[in-house]
Amino acid sequence: MNKLVFVTGATAGFGKAIAEKYAAAGCPVIITGRRKERLQQLQQELQQKYNVKVLPLEFDVQNRKEVFQAIKNLPAEWRPIDILVNNAGLAAGRDYFDEADLDDWDTMIDTNVKGLLYVSKAVIPLMIKKDASSGSKGHIINMGSIAGKEVYEKGNVYCASKFAVDAISQSMRIDLLRHGIKVTAIHPGAAETEFSLVRFKGDTAKATAIYEGYKPLTAGDIAEVVFFCTVLPEHVCINELALTPSQQANTIYFHKDNLGQ
Ligand code: NDP
Ligand code: 8X3
C-alpha cells in the first residue's frame, strides 16, 4: 500500500497503533503530538522496523497558529496526503455538570472540536490538490466515541465534544462530496490506553478501575478497524462505525466478570 497517512495524537494509544499499522503496510506516515521525545522515538522505531519514511510534527492541535504553520511548512514530498486520521483528543475530568472545572471544558472543546477543525481545514486543500494532479481521492477518519452517540452521567462536555465530532463528520461528508473525499467517523467504546490516566489527571487507581471486570478494546483493535475502512474499494465509504468490547453494550451497560465482591 502506498498511501501518505497523517495521524494526529500518535504519541500514545490509538494514534500510535494506527501509525504502526500503516507503517507496517509500507505507508509513509506523518506522526503528530505535543510530546517531542515520544514522536522521535516512534519515528526511529517505525523506520527501523518497517523501512518506511516517518515524519514527526510537533504541535498542539488547540493552537491554530501552530497547526497551520506546521502543515504549511510540510516539505513537498509530504504534502500529497491521502489519509488524515483526526485522532488527537482527550477527556479531562468526570464530574457532575455543576461541579466540573471550566478549564477542563475549555481543554476538551479546544482539543476535540476546534483542534479537529483546524487540522482538517489545513489538510483538506492538500487532498484536493493531490486529486487534481493524480486523481487520487482523500479519506478523512474522525475519532468520535460512543460518548458522541449517547450521554452518560458526568460525561457532559466530553460527550458534547464527541457529539460535535459526529455532527462535523456528517457535514464534512456532505460538503466534501464534490471533491470525492471520503469521511468516516469511528466511535469506540472502552479501550485501555492512556485515556483514563489523562482523564483522571494521573490517578492510576481510578484509571485502572475503569477497565476492571471485562476485557476492554486495545489500541491495536482500533488500528485494525481504521485500516480496514481505508482499504475498501474506491466506491465504498463506511460513514460511521461503532465498536465496543463484547462485554459492553453502550456507555452505561457492561457485563462484568464476577470480581469476587
Ligand atoms: P491517549 O491518551 O492514549 O492518546 C491521546 C493522544 O492525543 C496522544 O497522542 C496525545 O498526544 C494526543 N493529544 C491530546 N491532546 C492533544 C493536543 N492538544 N495536541 C496534540 N495532540 C494531543 O488516548 P486514546 O488513544 O485512547 O484516545 C485517542 C482518541 O480516541 C481521543 O480522541 C479519544 O477521545 C478517543 N476515544 C478514546 C476511547 C478510549 O476508551 N480510550 C474511546 C473512544 C474514543 P500528546 O499528549 O503528546 O500531545
Ligand atoms: C471514551 C469512551 O465511554 O469513557 O470516549 O466516554 S467513554
pLDDT at 187 over 80: yes
Phi, psi (rounded to 5 degrees) for 185: -105, 130
Average of pLDDT values for 186-205? 98
Ligand 1 geometric centre to CA of 25 (Å): 23
pLDDT band at 149 (very low <50, low <70, confident <90, very high): very high
Starting from the CA of residue 157, give the closest ligand.
Answer: 2
Phi, psi (rounded to 5 degrees) for 176: -95, 0
Catalytic status, residue 214 = no
140 contacts: CB under 8 Å, gap ≥ 6? 83, 84, 86, 120, 123, 124, 172, 176, 181, 182, 183, 184
For ligand 1, atom 36, the nearest C-alpha belongs to 145
For ligand 2, atom 5, the nearest C-alpha belongs to 145
Q: What's the pLDDT score for residue 146?
A: 98
Q: In Å, how far are 51, 172, 187 from 144, measured between CA atoms? A: 31, 14, 5
Of the candidates 74, 6, 44, the one whose C-alpha atom is nearest the C-alpha of residue 226 is 6
pTM for this prediction: 0.98
78-100 per-position pLDDT tens digit:
999 999 999 999 999 999 999 99
Q: Rounded CA gap, 253 and 261, in Å?
A: 18
